[in-house]
Amino acid sequence: MKSFYRRQLALMLGIVFLSFSLLSAVFTLVSYRYVIEEKKDSMLHNAQYISEFTGTYLEQGNIRDGFFKLYVTSLAQISGAHVMLCETDGEIVFATDGSAKNYQYSKHVPNQILRFVSERGKYMGMTDLGGIYSENRFLAAAPVFGQVSPRQVLRGVVLVSTSAGGISQLWRAMSNIFFFTAVAVLVISVVASSISTARQTRPLNEIAEAARKFGHGDFSVRIRGYEQRQDEVGSLAEAFNAMAGSLEKTESQRNEFIANVSHELKTPMTTIAGFADGILDGTIPPERERESLQVIASETRRLSRLVRQMLDLSRLRALEEKNPVQERFDVSEVMLRVLVSLESKISAAGLDVRTNVPEQPVMVWGDPDGVTQVCYNLLDNAAKFAREGSDITVQVVTRDGKAYISVRNLGETIPAEELPRLFERFHKTDHSRSRDRDGVGLGLYIVKTILGSMKEDITVTSENGVTEFTFTLSLA
């Protein structure tokens, strides 16, 4: 299987190679044609200039004299070309390449070139001039006209030629520059692509390795070194670490949950089994059997409460996965109804209830059954921990589009460091502050979960023996 690094690098190199291939093809075509056209235009311009000078000179002197030859020789030397002058019949009367060497040709310029110049006024092309040159050369030709009153007549032809090798050499020099530039850019692209691709794939490999460790149960692994990257890789590493933290916390909670459930189930079951075996084998005397059966019944009810709250937890998890039912209801009525249901328990504890509830209905949005459970758990918790003969205060106030429902009791002050843990599963405060030691530590966790499913919140304060729970609901 090809790695992402190799595929990405191959793709990048392929794009660079294809781009340079297309660019080189276009450069070759355009530059070669440009060089040739530029050279042809320059040669034609030189040929026309020399033909005009020759025509003017013919009217004043003889082209065979030294000054004319010296001037044309200088022009040939400057332009790096071979210059010829021929009569209308093709006889070459003068030829020079810019050096002091004299050229004598026995051959004549081909008639078709002379005819082309006479008819078109110029000639451009590749030719060896009928064998005058040993190889094909670029040639530009222009007519020489003389004034024969009252009109101009063709007196001869100027031919300027240059070796094709010179143009090819110039083009090859330009091509070499392009080639070496392309190679340098390609090497830089390879290095840059390799570094960039490795930079992209390294965090992916680290994440894959961390995921494999997750599969073996190690949730402590984190992706480090990408905190400062302000790109998708940095976001991916941050999201992965957040997921790892959530998984680690979930695993820790799961282990703690299993341990707590095992402990909560083991204690009453051990008690029940011990008393039952004692009755059966006669260890417990008959006069204490009734007392033992009462303990068994109490522990059985405790198991029942634990199982019931475990079922409530399962239902709450289902609520967390979907939006709970939102209805419009009177939260004051719900709170008062729960108070009536707990009246006997509150009275048995010698507690008084003070209410500060508006006379008008306080209509809110939420799950009526869930809010009823919240109110029941908070009031039941307050009754457990309230000091005997003290008061429980229930208050409902509205402000800023929210209803604030508070349950306050007088008792022992809860330490500040313990307040954040009150809503954890199976967490119990010191039993010495409660007359009811049969709780399993799920009541406040259920309260927090129900309110969280409705996007509401709950807070707790405990100062100077006054403990107060306050939760919110959105006004309807």
On the question of pLDDT at 469 being above 90, the answer is yes
What average pLDDT does this structure show over 328-350? 89
65-79, 107-121, 271-285: which has the highest mean pLDDT?
107-121
Position 437 scores a pLDDT of 44
132-141, 161-170, 266-275, 399-408: which has the highest mean pLDDT?
399-408
- Report which of residues 259 and 155 the model is more confident about: 155
Position 314 scores a pLDDT of 66
What average pLDDT does this structure show over 124-152? 85
- Report which of residues 404 and 190 the model is more confident about: 404
The pLDDT-based confidence of 186 (bands split at 50, 70, 90) is confident
The pLDDT-based confidence of 442 (bands split at 50, 70, 90) is confident
pLDDT tens by residue, 26-38:
777 776 677 777 7
**Candidate from 142-151, 326-335, 451-460 with smallest mean pLDDT:** 142-151
pLDDT tens by residue, 290-319:
888 888 887 787 778 777 767 766 666 665
On the question of pLDDT at 1 being above 50, the answer is no
**CA 207 from centre of chain:** 15
On the question of pLDDT at 439 being above 70, the answer is no
On the question of pLDDT at 140 being above 90, the answer is yes
**CA 49 from centre of chain:** 66
What rounded mean pLDDT belongs to the chain? 81
Position 315 scores a pLDDT of 66
On the question of pLDDT at 432 being above 70, the answer is no
Helical axes 232-280 vs 289-320, angle rounded to 10°: 160
Please name the residues in contact with 460: beta carbons below 8 A apart, sequence gap of 6 or more. 414, 419, 422, 467, 468, 469, 470
Position 433 scores a pLDDT of 41
What average pLDDT does this structure show over 276-302? 84
The pLDDT-based confidence of 435 (bands split at 50, 70, 90) is very low
Domains and CATH numbers, the chain: 4-169 (3.30.450.20), 229-322 (1.10.287.130), 327-475 (3.30.565.10)
What average pLDDT does this structure show over 357-362? 91
Position 473 scores a pLDDT of 94
